[in-house]
Structure formats: C-alpha cells, structure tokens
Amino acid sequence: MALTAKAPAACTARSVKVGSRTATVMRVAAVEKPTNWTENYIKEVPVSLLRPGVDTEDTIRAKFEKVIRDAQDSICAAISEIDGKPFHQDAWTREDGGGGITRVLADGNVWEKAGVNVSVVYGSMPPEAYRAATGTAPADLEKAKAAGGRVPFFAAGISSVMHPRNPHCPTMHFNYRFFQTEDWNGIPGQWWFGGGTDITPCYVVEEDLKHFHGTYKAVCDRHDPAYFPKFKKWCDEYFLIGHRKETRGLGGIFFDDLNDRPAEEILAFSKDAVNHVVEAYCPIIKKHMNDSFTEEQKQWQQIRRGRYVEFNLVYDRGTTFGLKTGGRIESILMSMPLTSRWEYCHEPAAGTPEAEFMDAARHPRNWV
C-alpha cells in the first residue's frame, strides 16, 4: 500500500521565561510532503532487502546487510531491556529499489527518543549528490555531468541516535554504511565503507569517557593499531560545528571513504565496531539513569541539543545526501531530539561543570 509520507520540514518555536532570561524552545513539527512523494509500507519484513538473484550471499552487499540487520536486532533488544519499553517498527520499500526498517522508541522511561534504522537502497542520484556522498568530486565530474543522466548507486547502512531523559546520561550516535556506484559517463564505479560511534554528554565524567573511548580503542587495535588515533582525530574534526568553533560532543571514532584494503577486511572491522555499541554505551546509561538533576541542568541539556540540531542540519553528510537523493524523510531526521533550545549569547559561568564541558568541546582531549 502506498502512503503519502510526512516530513518534519518545519518547526514551531515558542519563547519561555527562565529566571531573568528569555529562551527559545523549538519542536520539530510534521508537514505533508508533495503528494507525488510516496513510500510503500509493508507489514512483513523480507529476509533480505537485496535484489533477488542479483546480489548473492557471497557478495559484500549481502554480507554487509546481514551485519546491519543482526546489529539492529541485538542493539534494540539491549536498549529495550534497559528502558522497559519496546521499539515501534516501520518497514518500507522504495520504488527505485530496496527498502528499510525503522525502529523508534519514543517517550520511554530512560530515553526520550531512540531510533535504530537500517536501509538497503538502490537508485540513481543527481551528479550534485556525488560530492555529498563522497566529500569530494572526481576531477572529470563536470565533463560527466555535461553528458547528462544520473549516477547509479547502492547504499546500505545502519544509523542510530539515542537521546536520554536524564542530562547526566549522554546522547549516543552510530552509523555504519557501505556505498557503491556503478560506471557512469566515463567515471569508473567506486565502493567504500564509512561509519563510527560517538558520544555527546552534557558533562565531563572522565571515567565514562575512558570507558567509551577505551572500548573503541580495543576494537580498532584488533584490526590496525593506526586506526584509533586516526579515527579519533577524524571524529573530532568531522563533528566540529564550524560556526561555533566547538565540537558537537566529546568524540569517538569516525571514518569515511575507506577502501584502502580488501573489502572483506573493512567489513570485519565495521562488524566488530557496530557489535560493540552496547558494551561502550549501555554501562554509562545504567550508571547514571537514576541520577538526580536540577532544572538548570535540564536546561543545559536542551541548549546542547540545540547544538546537535545545528550540526546535523548544516554539516552532516548523511543528512544532506539523504535529502538530495529523495530519501525517507522520517528516517533521515530521526536524529532530531524532541525539543531543543537556543539562548541569546549563552556562555556558562567560569568554574562550573558546564564551562568544563565547553572547554573540552573547544579543545578536544585524548581520553585514553
């Protein structure tokens, strides 16, 4: 059955009085897409979202799909066990090929919003999306564009953002993906892996950060000792909010356009990394989910979530690529928190825990 999708393409804002200050609180609202944008929702999720008879079990595409489907099941199970509330699931297909499984836990006991998405899609993208997908453009892209047409692509990935209620519990994001283009107008087909896991607390708790970063250092070291320092630095640089000169959170690992060794080796690394999300994150949540907090600490969490929104809408490659290629809007913008706030010229007082966080966001640290 084809349904018209809704897209959170508009926001509502209201001003609230906080002591002597006025703050803006923003909530993402849903608006109708044009009626010619349709999605096919399905009740039963197929064993595979790949093309039957084309992408066989021995292909990287099939192996990667199994990794992300298994990871979605195990991570959602672990989060539900902590929260006590199940995930809602939507399964869908795309007219151009492939589909996805979106799972969202909303208004939970521990998490305000947690989502884990899997997508396996085929299609064609406008040449302008090439840069959004790769971060760079082939030298002969302009010549290829002049020849006309669209770039055939395959993209599979798992992505997640989890926003807890308690400001002492960090937000966590992860994304692991495999992307492949076919030959197009003289530009050879390409493939690469990307991904990473990063943490966005509101406060600096060194023990927690050492645990999180230490977990991923161990993962990286099993595959290549050069990975962790490289991918940790890459994470700090990628999640920089350029117009603020501060990072979105306190790091993790990030890699993209990775194709410098056999695909099977990078697949094994990606599998190991996504399978350690629970170990890296859940002990921190269990430690803090019942911590007491003040209204001022909750307000600080809302301000940091405003920074989260700024980064995702302005800088995030996955978001911009999804919007340029007609991706499923509800899945693309699943990362948005339920509420955020912006205060005019807000700066934490010196010597406060909030100021300590800002120092770490402006001057990235090595935690392990």
Q: Which of 173, 211, 213, 288 is an active site residue?
A: 173
E-assigned strands of the chain?
Answer: 2-4, 6-18, 21-32, 38-42, 88-93, 98-106, 111-125, 151-164, 171-181, 191-200, 240-241, 246-247, 252-258, 339-343
Sheet strands side by side (includes 111-125): 2-4, 38-42, 88-93, 98-106, 111-125, 151-164, 171-181, 191-200, 252-258
| CA angle, 62 then 319 then 219, to 5° | 55
Active site residue 346: no
Q: Environment class of residue 223 by beta-carbon count within 10 Å: exposed (0-12), middle (13-18) or buried (19+)?
A: middle
Largest CA distance in the chain: 65
Query: Annotated catalytic sites, by residue?
Result: 173
